[in-house]
């Protein structure tokens, strides 16, 4: 029996709902090249941009391929580390929000939002939500804190925007549920195609990471702004301190990335005790040849090299010292634009997700010294010794 077109469209828009699962479980599922291609793009768009494009069509074959791409995308993204999965989940949530409040629309589709809320098990009457449902899916916007809401007789009285945010957060909960999928749970007939898709996404990630590092290096050179942790290492070297191995490698890789020469770096290390010109030059040439990236802020913190003024590992999205000048420049350029938020309100959320249909080109994981699926150490590539 053919699924009604409108029901199929709804399932395609919200593939994590009961309606979608019923459609997928009630018929023979064929995973072809088009489904795998769409699933791969879905993961790549989610990880790289936190924004998965919406589909508007009445073509049943396209609707079915889009619907089936969702469970395959979950298999693919399960092979990536938590930060990448988090970005993918943000992409799925932003896709939901775009359907509920399409670009160019003057107001949200509240009928659709209420239908989605019913599917998600949100107890509501219009935009009045039960306290239980609200607490289960409380939005991360600061102005959605319970203490700021109107609560009456066990219900939370919301406006349209906050109701949409609750629906979005409930959607996030369902998308997150069951991730990551264990490799043994992936059907044997799909494992080869899933592995191919993983490699495709990794290639795209690597390209984006390299492009981001290049932009950050250019910005750092242009602004002359240096990460405080790196400035401190240079100061310690010039003061004649015997730097630990990790600090030497960190500053060498950083200075190479912002365009400094071997001679520039040699001059800095020449102030350290037991400096040896030949040994240091050899080690620097080795690092330069390998093209190593600076260690992440997390690794700098682990080795006691991060400074409070770096302001990383907190509310900012700086994940690597290379991004410091880039982020400062970006923030300065955008200063005065206001907090924005478009149709979803004027306050930023406490999560790293963007607003409706939004995308993000900010850092996506460990930009430099980190892996896409497995974390790698940042040290161990030759002593810059004296």
Name the packing angle between helices 245-257 and 262-269 (round to 10°).
Answer: 150
> Tell me, what's the pLDDT at 196?
95
pLDDT in tens, 32-47: 999 999 999 999 999 9
Here the tokens at position 136 are: 């289960």
Instruction: Indicate the DSSP class of residue 292.
Output: P
> Tell me, what's the pLDDT at 215?
66
Domain 5-201 matching CATH 2.40.50: the answer reads no
> Tell me, what's the pLDDT at 313?
60
Q: pLDDT at residue 372 above 90?
A: no
Q: pLDDT at residue 170 above 80?
A: yes
Q: Which residues contact 229 (CB under 8 A, 6 or more apart)?
A: 250, 300, 305, 306, 307, 310, 321
Query: What average pLDDT does this structure show over 257-273?
Result: 90
Q: How far apart are CA 67 and CA 69, in angstroms?
A: 5
Domain ranges across the chain: 5-201, 225-322+370-386
> Tell me, what's the pLDDT at 371?
39
C-alpha 284 chain-centroid distance: 33
> Tell me, what's the pLDDT at 218?
63
Q: How far apart are CA 298 and CA 306, in angstroms?
A: 8
> Tell me, what's the pLDDT at 382?
37
pLDDT in tens, 133-147: 999 999 988 899 999
Strand arrangement of the beta sheet that strand 155-157 belongs to: 124-125, 128-130, 155-157, 150-152
Q: How far apart are CA 322 and CA 324, in angstroms?
A: 6
> Tell me, what's the pLDDT at 324?
74
Query: What average pLDDT does this structure show over 190-211?
Result: 89
Radius of gyration for the chain, computed over Cα atoms and rounded to the nearest angstrom:
25
Place of tokens 């979803």: 344
Query: What average pLDDT does this structure show over 255-274?
Result: 90
> Tell me, what's the pLDDT at 257?
86
- To the nearest 10°, report the CA torsion of 22, 27, 29, 35: -60
> Tell me, what's the pLDDT at 359?
36
Here the tokens at position 230 are: 């790196």
Strands (E), the chain: 124-125, 128-130, 150-152, 155-157
Instruction: Please state which of the ranges 64-68, 128-132, 224-228, 254-258 shows the lowest mean pLDDT.
Output: 224-228
Query: What average pLDDT does this structure show over 56-62?
Result: 94
Instruction: Indicate the DSSP class of residue 141.
Output: B
Query: What average pLDDT does this structure show over 238-265?
Result: 91
Query: What average pLDDT does this structure show over 98-108?
Result: 93
Query: What average pLDDT does this structure show over 164-189?
Result: 95
Length of the chain: 386
- The residue among 197 and 307 whose pLDDT is bigger is 197
> Tell me, what's the pLDDT at 357?
35
Q: pLDDT at residue 188 above 90?
A: yes
pTM score over 0.85: no
- The residue among 200 and 218 whose pLDDT is bigger is 200
Alpha carbon separation from 304 to 162, 244, 260, 312, 377 (Å, rounded): 42, 11, 25, 14, 15
Query: What average pLDDT does this structure show over 326-335?
Result: 46
């Amino acid at each position: 029996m053919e699924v009604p077109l409108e029901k199929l469209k709804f399932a395609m828009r919200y593939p994590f709902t009961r309606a979608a699962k019923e459609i997928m479980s009630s018929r023979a599922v064929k995973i072809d090249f088009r489904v795998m291609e769409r699933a791969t793009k879905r993961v790549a768009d989610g990880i790289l941009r936190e924004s998965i494009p919406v589909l508007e069509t009445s073509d049943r074959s396209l609707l079915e391929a889009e619907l089936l791409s969702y469970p395959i995308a979950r298999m693919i993204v399960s092979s990536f580390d938590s930060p990448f999965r988090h970005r993918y989940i943000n992409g799925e949530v932003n896709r939901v929000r775009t359907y509920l409040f399409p670009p160019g629309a003057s107001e949200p589709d509240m009928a659709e939002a209420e239908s989605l809320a019913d599917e998600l098990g949100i107890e509501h009457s219009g935009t009045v939500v039960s306290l239980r449902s609200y607490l289960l899916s409380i939005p991360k916007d600061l102005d959605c804190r319970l203490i700021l809401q109107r609560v009456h007789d066990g219900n939370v009285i919301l406006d349209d925007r906050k109701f949409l945010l609750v629906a979005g957060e409930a959607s996030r909960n369902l998308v997150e549920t069951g991730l990551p999928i264990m490799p043994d749970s992936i059907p044997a007939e799909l494992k080869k195609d899933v592995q191919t898709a993983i490699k495709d996404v990794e290639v795209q990630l690597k390209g984006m990471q390299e492009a981001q590092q290049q932009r950050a290096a250019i910005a750092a050179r242009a602004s002359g702004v240096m990460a405080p942790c790196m400035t401190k290492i240079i100061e310690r070297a010039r003061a004649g301190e015997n730097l630990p191995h990790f600090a030497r490698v960190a500053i060498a890789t950083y200075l190479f990335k912002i365009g400094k020469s071997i001679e520039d770096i040699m001059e800095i290390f020449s102030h350290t005790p037991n400096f040896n010109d030949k040994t240091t030059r050899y080690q620097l040439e080795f690092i330069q040849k390998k093209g190593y990236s600076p260690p992440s802020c997390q690794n700098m913190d682990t080795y006691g090299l991060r400074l409070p003024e770096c302001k990383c590992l907190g509310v900012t999205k700086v994940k690597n010292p290379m991004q410091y000048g880039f982020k400062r420049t970006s923030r300065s350029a955008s200063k005065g634009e206001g907090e924005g938020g478009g149709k979803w309100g004027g306050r930023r959320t406490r999560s790293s997700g963007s607003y409706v249909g939004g995308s993000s080109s900010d850092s996506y994981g460990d930009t430099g010294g980190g892996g896409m699926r497995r974390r790698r150490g940042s040290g161990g590539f030759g002593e810059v010794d004296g």
